[in-house]
Structure 1
Amino acid sequence: MAISKVWIEEGCTACELCVDICPEVFEMADDTAVVIENAKVDVFEDQVIEAADSCPVEVIRYEA
Protein backbone atom coordinates (compact mmCIF):
# COMPACT_ATOMS: atom_id res chain seq x y z
CA MET A 1 0.00 0.00 0.00
CA ALA A 2 2.91 2.43 0.61
CA ILE A 3 1.79 4.83 3.33
CA SER A 4 2.76 8.41 2.52
CA LYS A 5 1.25 10.33 5.45
CA VAL A 6 0.45 9.61 9.09
CA TRP A 7 -1.19 11.91 11.62
CA ILE A 8 -2.92 11.83 14.99
CA GLU A 9 -6.26 13.58 15.40
CA GLU A 10 -7.44 15.26 18.59
CA GLY A 11 -8.48 12.94 21.37
CA CYS A 12 -5.28 11.03 22.07
CA THR A 13 -5.34 9.62 25.61
CA ALA A 14 -1.54 9.25 25.83
CA CYS A 15 -1.73 5.49 26.41
CA GLU A 16 1.64 5.16 24.59
CA LEU A 17 0.52 2.03 22.74
CA CYS A 18 1.54 3.48 19.37
CA VAL A 19 4.99 4.33 20.75
CA ASP A 20 5.36 0.78 22.05
CA ILE A 21 4.36 -0.65 18.66
CA CYS A 22 6.34 1.73 16.44
CA PRO A 23 8.81 4.04 18.21
CA GLU A 24 10.39 4.83 14.84
CA VAL A 25 7.26 6.80 13.85
CA PHE A 26 5.50 7.82 17.10
CA GLU A 27 6.72 9.57 20.24
CA MET A 28 5.20 11.22 23.28
CA ALA A 29 5.07 15.02 23.55
CA ASP A 30 3.66 16.39 26.79
CA ASP A 31 0.28 14.65 27.14
CA THR A 32 -0.24 13.33 23.61
CA ALA A 33 1.40 11.11 21.05
CA VAL A 34 2.82 12.74 17.91
CA VAL A 35 4.27 11.57 14.64
CA ILE A 36 8.03 12.08 14.50
CA GLU A 37 8.94 14.70 11.92
CA ASN A 38 10.46 13.11 8.78
CA ALA A 39 9.76 9.59 10.06
CA LYS A 40 10.11 6.94 7.37
CA VAL A 41 6.46 5.90 7.52
CA ASP A 42 6.72 3.84 4.33
CA VAL A 43 9.46 1.67 5.85
CA PHE A 44 7.38 0.93 8.97
CA GLU A 45 4.05 0.54 7.18
CA ASP A 46 2.99 -2.67 8.95
CA GLN A 47 3.70 -1.19 12.38
CA VAL A 48 1.85 2.05 11.55
CA ILE A 49 -1.21 0.05 10.51
CA GLU A 50 -0.95 -2.08 13.66
CA ALA A 51 -0.70 1.07 15.81
CA ALA A 52 -3.74 2.61 14.09
CA ASP A 53 -5.74 -0.60 14.48
CA SER A 54 -4.70 -0.90 18.14
CA CYS A 55 -5.41 2.71 19.14
CA PRO A 56 -8.14 2.56 21.80
CA VAL A 57 -9.60 5.94 20.76
CA GLU A 58 -9.03 5.45 17.00
CA VAL A 59 -7.27 8.77 16.38
CA ILE A 60 -4.30 7.54 14.32
CA ARG A 61 -4.88 8.14 10.62
CA TYR A 62 -2.83 7.34 7.53
CA GLU A 63 -3.09 7.58 3.77
CA ALA A 64 -1.33 6.12 0.79
Structure 2
Amino acid sequence: MIELEEGNGFDGVSGKVDGRPFIVLKKDRPIVRKRLTALHEFVHQSVSLKHGLSKTAVEKLCHTFGGAL
Protein backbone atom coordinates (compact mmCIF):
# COMPACT_ATOMS: atom_id res chain seq x y z
CA MET A 1 0.00 0.00 0.00
CA ILE A 2 1.28 3.43 -0.98
CA GLU A 3 0.06 6.86 0.18
CA LEU A 4 0.30 9.91 -2.09
CA GLU A 5 -0.23 13.58 -1.33
CA GLU A 6 -1.30 14.49 -4.88
CA GLY A 7 -4.49 14.29 -6.83
CA ASN A 8 -7.78 16.11 -6.68
CA GLY A 9 -10.92 14.00 -6.54
CA PHE A 10 -8.78 10.98 -5.77
CA ASP A 11 -9.27 8.71 -2.75
CA GLY A 12 -7.67 5.48 -3.94
CA VAL A 13 -6.83 3.22 -6.82
CA SER A 14 -5.62 -0.33 -7.23
CA GLY A 15 -4.09 -2.41 -9.95
CA LYS A 16 -1.31 -4.82 -10.75
CA VAL A 17 2.28 -4.34 -11.88
CA ASP A 18 4.06 -7.44 -13.14
CA GLY A 19 1.21 -9.49 -11.71
CA ARG A 20 1.61 -8.03 -8.21
CA PRO A 21 -1.33 -6.11 -6.73
CA PHE A 22 -0.99 -2.58 -5.34
CA ILE A 23 -3.24 -0.06 -3.61
CA VAL A 24 -2.62 3.69 -3.58
CA LEU A 25 -4.41 5.95 -1.09
CA LYS A 26 -4.55 9.72 -0.76
CA LYS A 27 -2.42 10.58 2.25
CA ASP A 28 -4.40 13.53 3.65
CA ARG A 29 -7.73 11.71 4.01
CA PRO A 30 -9.08 10.89 7.50
CA ILE A 31 -8.09 7.42 8.75
CA VAL A 32 -11.69 6.18 8.59
CA ARG A 33 -11.90 7.20 4.91
CA LYS A 34 -8.54 5.58 4.15
CA ARG A 35 -9.68 2.34 5.79
CA LEU A 36 -12.91 2.28 3.73
CA THR A 37 -10.96 3.06 0.55
CA ALA A 38 -8.29 0.43 1.26
CA LEU A 39 -10.95 -2.24 1.80
CA HIS A 40 -12.85 -1.07 -1.29
CA GLU A 41 -9.70 -1.40 -3.40
CA PHE A 42 -8.86 -4.76 -1.80
CA VAL A 43 -12.20 -6.11 -3.04
CA HIS A 44 -11.38 -4.75 -6.52
CA GLN A 45 -8.30 -6.98 -6.44
CA SER A 46 -10.45 -9.99 -5.48
CA VAL A 47 -13.54 -9.53 -7.68
CA SER A 48 -13.58 -8.55 -11.30
CA LEU A 49 -15.84 -8.37 -14.31
CA LYS A 50 -14.68 -11.84 -15.29
CA HIS A 51 -16.87 -13.17 -12.46
CA GLY A 52 -19.92 -12.07 -14.46
CA LEU A 53 -20.67 -8.90 -12.48
CA SER A 54 -21.34 -5.55 -14.12
CA LYS A 55 -19.14 -2.55 -13.30
CA THR A 56 -22.00 -1.11 -11.24
CA ALA A 57 -22.40 -4.35 -9.27
CA VAL A 58 -18.65 -4.55 -8.60
CA GLU A 59 -18.57 -0.93 -7.33
CA LYS A 60 -21.58 -1.54 -5.10
CA LEU A 61 -20.01 -4.72 -3.70
CA CYS A 62 -16.69 -2.96 -3.04
CA HIS A 63 -18.34 0.00 -1.33
CA THR A 64 -20.65 -2.19 0.77
CA PHE A 65 -17.76 -4.39 1.92
CA GLY A 66 -15.53 -1.42 2.71
CA GLY A 67 -18.27 0.32 4.67
CA ALA A 68 -19.21 -2.80 6.63
CA LEU A 69 -15.86 -3.08 8.36
In which range does the TM-score fall when normalised by the shorter chain?
Answer: under 0.3
Give the structure, 1 or 2, with the largest relative contact order (CA under 8 Å, sep 6 or more): 1
TM-score by length of 2: 0.26
In the superposition, the TM-score normalised over structure 1's length comes to 0.27
Identify, as 1 or 2, the structure richer in helix.
2
